[in-house]
Amino acid sequence: MKQVPSNIKSLIKSKAADLGFFYSGFSKAGFLEEEAPRLEKWLKNKSHGKMRYMENYFDKRLDPRLLVDDAKTVISLLLNYFPSETMPNEDGPKISKYAYGTDYHFVIKTKIAELLSFIRSHLGEVNGRAFVDSAPVMDKAWAKKSGLGWIGKNTNLINPKEGSFFFIGELIIDYSIEEDGPIKDYCGTCSKCVDSCPTDALNTPYQIDASKCISYLTIELKDEIIPSEFNGKMNEWMFGCDICQDVCPWNRFSKPHNEPLFEPKEILFDLSKKDWEDLDKKTFNTLSKNSPLKRSGFKSIIRNIEFLKDDGGKNNR
């Protein structure tokens, strides 16, 4: 075993910053006692809609030691994706800001792999594994425990200096590093996210009924049609939704990212409303290559566009 630098924690944080993560935090790997009953209730209430995969690996979601042998530390990392400009076609189909550029899974995992190599160069043989929301890890809970923010009424992690337009990744390692403590909740009496949700997915603050969320309806729901109860409530969102983040006062602190891979493809901002309505498979393949848009697939995107076209895409609340 190599001699461990006394400032290993600050060295890791510095390296994470060099890799583009604007915040990193440390927490002790263990069972998430507070989250266990909440997750169980959420699933029991069918708030996950038809996302059956959320029912899998219940124990692993709550304990990272079941994912990484002898796990000791969870390193949470935040990567900014807030764009310098948004899609210009305001009356046409809208895409969530996180999906403008290259699929974040590729970007973050590459960065975390480099961070793990850096850690090994100082600590020797360390067992570690990267996670970016495609495995059963409760990323927001761990980021909260490590002091990177609080989980707001819109169920997003909110950082008091950066808002919430960022991705969360984790590096779980079998080496103990001093943990950071959580910070307090600063949502206060604000209810803008709850009041602004057109589908009432946030009817209960701090809880989301995913089966009503526009992001779920446009991405995760694989049915041939979107339920008619959402007619006139989609606000032109074709892929994802940013409403509860756009109205959050803390996002006045959001600053444009500096990650080249998150820059939008030129074609994305060039398409008119009619171009979207006439979208063909070839154009979709160009748009979705190495993009989060690929998750929905061509058929679901066309379904979403048709749904918006049929109901006018207007909010009738």
* CB environment 226-262: b (16+ within 10 A), e (fewer): beeeeeebbbbbbbbbbbbbebbebbeebeebebeeb
Locate all alpha helices (DSSP H) within 5-154, ordered by sequence.
8-18, 35-44, 58-62, 104-123, 139-145
Tally helices (H) and strands (E) across the chain.
Answer: 12, 8
- Residue 101: CB partners within 8 Å, gap ≥ 6? 81, 259, 261, 262, 263, 264, 265, 291
Locate all alpha helices (DSSP H) within 233-297, ordered by sequence.
243-246, 266-270, 273-277, 281-288
- Give the active site residue among 63, 133, 246, 311: 133
Q: Say if residues 179 and 27 touch (Cβ distance below 8 Å).
A: yes
Distance of CA 190 to the CA centre of its chain: 22
Asked if 133 is an active-site residue, the reply is: yes
**Catalytically active residues, by annotation:** 133
